[in-house]
Amino acid sequence: MWSGKMRAWLLVGLFLVLVASPFATLQCEVKSSYLIFDHYHSYDEIVNYLLYLNASYSQFVDVFAIGSSIENRTIYAAKITDESVITAKTNLLIVGYHHAREPISAELAIYFIDWLLFGTNNTVAPQLKEVAVFVVPALNVDGFNSSAVNDWQRKNSRPIDEDHDGVCDEDPPCDVNGDGFVGALYANNGTFIRWEGNDTDGDGNLDWAGGVDLNRNYSFKWNATVQSGSNDPTAEDYRGTAPFSEPETQAIRNLVQKYYFSFAVSLHSGTKLVLYPWAYTSDRARDFELLENMSARIGELVSAPHMQSANLYTSSGDFADWIYSTQGTLAFTFEVYGDSSAWHYLPGPVNDTFWQVGIKRAFSPSPEQISTVCEGWLPGLVEVLNTAAEKIHTEVNIRFYDVGQGDSEFIETSGMNVLIDGGSAQNASVLLNYLNELNITHIDLMIATHPHEDHVGGLVAVLNSIITVSQILFNNQSYSSQSYQQFLALAQNHVLSVACRGQTIPLSETAQLVILNPVQPLEFSNVNDNSVVARLDVLNVSVLFTGDAEADAEQSMLNAGLNVSSRVLKVGHHGSRTATSQQFLDAMNPSIAVISARINNTYGHPHAETIDRLLAKGVVIYGTYVSGTITMFTDGFEVNVADSPEPIIPEFPSFLWIPILMAAYSLLILLSIRLGRRRGFLLFFRVLGNS
């Protein structure tokens, strides 16, 4: 319930919000309009605050339940964004209070909510126009009660019979002598003896209130061999019986499965550090440089060291590792407070023993320091927020158009739009419809990879349309086809440039095209091998557009020592066996491949050999002949494929059908002989229907 003092603050805050301009420029200094951060808020207070915001500021706040705890308390998330802006936004996830003895993490979470909405002079953060911030202030919601009894409590409240007497959680550690601390009794030689508490069942042991360490319960590397992540139920870092065994981590999993998060921050305490994946190994993550640089900026802002999590100690089932591995989310752990001087030691009940006490203040500051700690870490959260807001301006959209047996790709950046090939003249109206759906009236750069009609035929239609084109890039191939001659005639009315290996074409502040092929003068008699091959670089993500380049062109690029490594590959020559050689594929090492072809085409594209090579490499393959146009988005960190197209899977070998049918026929005959014809037939078809 709200105190009288808090109600007064609420009324004052409401008045200020009503008269203040909602989009004034923000600074990092905070003057909270609603909450007074002079004490640790109970979970009821946090929930009441969230529900109040939900009711009063629905244009910015949407509070919803994401699950329940072991003790059936509701876990809430708050989505905070400017709902009046309906364009695509970057999602940022903040999770507090994984661990019961770290209440400062929950305070920082709600402090950040307060700043987003009211900030300095009661203004709404302008970043909310471009970012949707999801905050789970407290995940281990049962911990508010369990840690009030035992200030050492870290885990959730899952009942566990830690003293093996057949009863769970009957006598947890507690403050028996009333000195404000729960002590750990040690012998002078450092051997642990027991916890302070009442041994109510007289078995000589105390039985804690739970549980499972929620930040060791996520599925990624859950059972890895690490320093922290135990299979012992009595251990403080007990990982649980299985990944996501706990309803609290299941709630986070369900939330993450519903939304794609570009950034995430997990709030903790115990020391002062900025951490990033991996936690389970000292090996560097794929985005190591990006994570390192970003955490360095954050660390400088909050005056905290930064490092890879495993450099502190290795751990399994970690939230940041899991969400990074699952979604490619750039995830950080903020350890926001630690005070080793809070530990102190008192004489024990018998000679040569002592009590260790002080964990409460070792992990969370005194109430009068809460605001100071939160203000100190606010710039770090704002840095993540600003990076998320900037991300929306770096996003690049790539469409692999379904133009039948042909190629056409369209790249949209914040700077330039690029059309690579246009399919055949027969499907030109399809291409024009695609561009019209996007309201495209101008193309900054048109690339004709080579003269074949299934690549330039549609470009002729675009050049004859109302769409204006600034620049055209081609390979300067001599070729006499009618469609290519039409293309060249129209291209003369534009800025026409010859593609040559080594060219770099800036598209935006974060995106560029690098031309890898051809060399000039052209080196191959095979028209396909003179195709323009372009690598799109968007920060850490590369996409390789190969036209119809075949093995000789691929070898030329490799011999030149060019960087062909790419996250996404537009497969060469519609998936022909003459392209995507094993050596080139190994050098590219793509995660995703797209094949542009018409279903049941006369060339047999894509060929089985190419599909097999890609699948053996673990590449996820999409085909326009299966799913139509393939659309992808990248911010330079991750690649997202829209609309869940159907990936291409290995075909069942046709030669196996004969032995399978023979075996089925033999089974039918055998059943008929042993059971009689009628019963045998019935059993056979029953088995067939259930298989």
- Say whether 192 sits in a helix, a strand or coil: strand
pLDDT value at residue 683: 56
Query: Residue 120 corresponds to which tokens in the numbers above?
Result: 């300095």
Q: And the tokens for 353?
A: 């023993």
Tokens 């031309």 -> residue = 515
Q: Retrieve residue 359's tokens.
A: 């964990």
Question: Would the CATH topology of 4-145+257-393 be identical to that of 395-637?
Answer: no
Cβ atoms of 405 and 574 within 8 Å: the answer is yes
User: Among the residues of 395-481, which ranges form H helices?
Assistant: 428-437, 453-463
DSSP of 250-297: HHHHHHHHHS--SEEEEEE-SEEEEEES-SS-SSPPTTHHHHHHHHHH
Ramachandran region, residue 67 (left: φ > 0; alpha: ψ -120 to 50; beta: rest): left
Helix (H, G, I), strand (E, B) or coil at 564: coil
C-alpha distances in Å from residue 618, one per residue of 77, 225, 563: 36, 26, 21
What are the pLDDT digits (tens) for 226-263?
999 999 988 899 999 999 999 999 999 999 888 878 89
Do 221 and 200 form a contact (C-beta atoms < 8 A)?
no
Residue owning tokens 């673990």: 618
Domain ranges for the chain, please list them: 4-145+257-393, 395-637, 657-690
Alpha helices in 70-221 (DSSP H): 103-118, 143-149
pLDDT at residue 674, as a whole number: 63
Q: Could you give the CA distance from residue 516 to residue 447 in angstroms, rounded to a whole number?
A: 14
C-beta separation of 227 from 289 below 8 A: no
Give one DSSP letter per residue of 106-127, joined into a string. HHHHHHHHHHHHHTTTT---GG
Closest CA to 453 of 472, 489, 426: 426
Identify the pLDDT of residue 258.
84
Short-list 570, 562, 563, 506, CA closest to 538: 506
| Sole residue written with tokens 């299985």 | 242
Question: Which homologous superfamily does the CATH classification assign to the domain defined by 4-145+257-393?
Answer: Zn peptidases (3.40.630.10)
State whether CATH 1.20.140.10 applies to domain 395-637. Answer: no
Report, as ranges of residue numbers, the positions in the chain whose pLDDT lies below 50: 1-32
Residue 283's closest CA among 264, 303, 308? Answer: 308
Q: How far apart, in Å, are the Cα atoms of 428 and each of 471, 494, 595, 596?
A: 20, 20, 19, 15
CB 122 within 8 A of CB 57: no
Beta partners for residue 315, in sequence order = 228
Question: Degrees (nearest 5) of the Cα angle 169, 173, 178?
Answer: 140
User: ω before 305 within 30° of 0 (cis)?
Assistant: no
Give the pTM. 0.62
Integer distance in angstroms from the first to the last C-alpha of the chain?
59
- The CA angle 533-401-565, to the nearest 5 degrees, is 35
Return the pLDDT at 80. 97
Q: Within 13 Å and on the Cβ side, how many CA atoms surround 627?
A: 18
Q: Token pair 């006499």 is at which residue?
A: 480
The pLDDT of residue 260: 76
* pLDDT of the residue at 678: 59
